[in-house]
A and B are shown apart, each in its own frame.
Chain A
Amino acid sequence: MNLLKKISGIIWILAGPLAIYYLVKTAAAEIAKKPVIDTKIQWGIFVGIFIPIAIGLMIFGYYALKGEYDRQPQSSDEL
């Protein structure tokens, strides 16, 4: 199970940039299709809020790959 957790970590690391690429590509296409202020604001918000989340997913993947989730804390003293 721990090996699977680590291997899956690679998927989460790769999923981050993939999500950012798809998000920015869609945002650019939508803004180009309808270049009004509403579209720009909406997509600006989406990109601004989802990029940090995608980076979070990459960090999560990195931790998983490093085996940080192999054993989880059993008490708050370990946190």
Chain B
Amino acid sequence: MSSISTKGIRKVIFASSVGTLIEWYDFYIFGSLATVIASQFFPKTNPTAALLSTLATFAAGFIVRPFGALVFGRLGDLIGRKYTFLLTLIIMGGSTFAIGLVPGYDKIGFAAPILVLLLRLLQGLALGGEYGGAATYVAEHSPVNKRGYYTSWIQTTATLGLFLSLGVILLTRHSLDADRAASIAKFNDWGWRIPFIVSILLVGVSVYIRLKMKESPLFSKLKSEGKISKNPLKESFVHKVNLKMVLLALFGATMGQGVVWYTGQFYAQSFIENTCKIDFEQSRTILIWAILFATPFFVVFGGWSDKVGRKWIMLAGMLFAVVSYRPLFGKLITISDIKNKTEITEKKEIKTTRKVITAANDTLRTVAVKTFYDDGLAMTETKTDTVYAAAGKSTMKPDIKISKILDTGGYWQMVMIVFVMILYVTMVYGPIAAFLVELFPTRIRYTSMSLPYHIGNGVFGGLTPFIATLLTTIYTDDKLVGLFYPILVASVCFIIGILYVNNRIDPDVSD
């Protein structure tokens, strides 16, 4: 293994990482555009149902991931890593491109949401097969003293994929018209398709790069010796000696890692936007900056794990998350809470617009009240209701939307808080590829490591924003109650990790 040149390993890392990054990008743009997609593909008459349908689709995307891990993991252990993770890339790219082309519900009726759901399921399936292949492929090329360092480059791709998806969405949203409002309107109408369609170009380049790569040397050796597994699923999950390691990987590592990851990168953004009521763009740029500053630490912690072992870095990340989530999220509330601020009354702006909406001269009234505070925060409360021409008739419940624009200080404080949360992500996620690779033998590695990874991330992690939001709707008094779920899961994982996980670095993964 150590015979591979530095240039050679760089090529391996590059080819694997670019493809994985694009797969994550493809997967995230759907989630990031959930609201817009809801308005396009689900009945507009009931927006709540439409949004819930999309959330269900989103969850379905995550839940099929473990199945993808089984299907493609098995394939990867039977026919090889290279062709399997090439296939997952093509399926992912094709599905993403196709979502961008599906006509809306107003054109083809219920065929539209059904098609989108099926394509989303394919995306989830492909993602389930991608990561295990890329991590295994890089690890099987790496020397023992740099396995954590080299595989950590693969670990950066999930976060960079999110970064890329947010960047492309924001860029597209603002470049469709010189007028900002018109540009956003065009984006919501048809421009949202661009990030999906663009994906095919990225996938094309990545497929070309991957086609030029050779099969993993360890898998090739195993194949030439006729030692590949005949039934990877049975060997992985029926044989007790391996099943116990799969269970350990799930409950002692990936379960906690998954919730820390999704809390730091997804629930944090949702919390900033929906609970703190921070403006759409600010809530996203806060995450973009935090990701940019934190991403190098994946490589730092991955490399460090080659020296001190994987276990304690991952568990420290979980412990920090458990003890600091409530104060960190509490601080996000404090920064945006107007109760702590003094209003500058003379700067208050009230703008009322009316638009006739019926032949009977009923009008849609929008009152936007913009309030400024002493620290620079500005809050806009937009109230929309219908004013009926007929006497005595009034809107039952006006629609009220609140959006806050943070001052520079508050903005960067939030960036710093999210940065800290993503730093925890880098601790738990940076070394985990090397940890999983070392846990299983070459002949069933792809299958065995993919399933716990995708249950940990897809199920435990992927459902974090949903379960956390659900808890806040049940226990409405405590805005931080949603954190109970990630804290509980990470705590259990931390205890299991402390007790049962070994800190040993496997000197030989070729067996």
Contact = CB atoms under 8 A, between A and B. Distances in A.
Do A and B belong to a common assembly?
yes
B55 to A, nearest CB: 8
Size bracket of the B interface = 20 to 34
A41 interface: yes
A73 B243 CA distance: 13
B56 interface: yes
Contacts, number: 70
Nearest to A60: B247
B353 to A, nearest CB: 34
Interface residues of A, number: 30
Interface string A1-17: 10011001000100100
Contacts of B55: 42
A59 B459 contact: no
A79 B502 CA distance: 16
B241 A60 contact: no
A38 B52 contact: yes
Given A38-B53, A45-B59, A75-B511, A69 B241 contact: no
Nearest to B443: A76
Contact of B241 (A38, A45, A73): A73
Given A5-B499, A69-B500, A49 B251 contact: no
Interface string B469-511: 0000000000000000000000010011001101010001001
Contacts of B242: 79
B90 to A, nearest CB: 27
B459 A5 contact: no
Contact of B245 (A5, A53, A79): A79
A76 B502 contact: no
A78 B499 contact: no
Interface string B182-226: 000000000000000000000000000000000000000000000
Interface string B362-396: 00000000000000000000000000000000000
B59 A77 contact: no
Given A41-B56, A60-B248, A69-B244, A49 B500 contact: no
A42 B247 contact: no
A79 B441 contact: yes
Contacts of B53: 38
B338 interface: no
Contacts of A76: 440-442, 511
B63 interface: yes
Contacts of B69: none
A5 B455 contact: no
A65 interface: no
Contacts of A8: 495-496, 499
Nearest to B53: A38
Nearest to B243: A59
Given A45-B63, A79-B242, A53 B459 contact: yes
A56 B500 CA distance: 16
A4 B496 CA distance: 11
Given A12-B496, A38-B52, 11 more contacts: A42-B55, A57-B251, A60-B247, A63-B240, A63-B247, A64-B500, A68-B240, A69-B244, A72-B502, A77-B511, A78-B241
> 4 tightest A-B contacts by CB?
A76-B441, A76-B511, A60-B247, A38-B52
Interface of B: 49, 52-53, 55-56, 59-60, 63, 239-245, 247-248, 250-251, 440-442, 455, 459, 463, 492, 495-496, 499-500, 502, 504, 508, 511
11 contacts: A5-B499, A5-B500, A8-B495, A38-B49, A38-B56, A46-B463, A53-B250, A56-B250, A59-B247, A77-B511, A79-B245
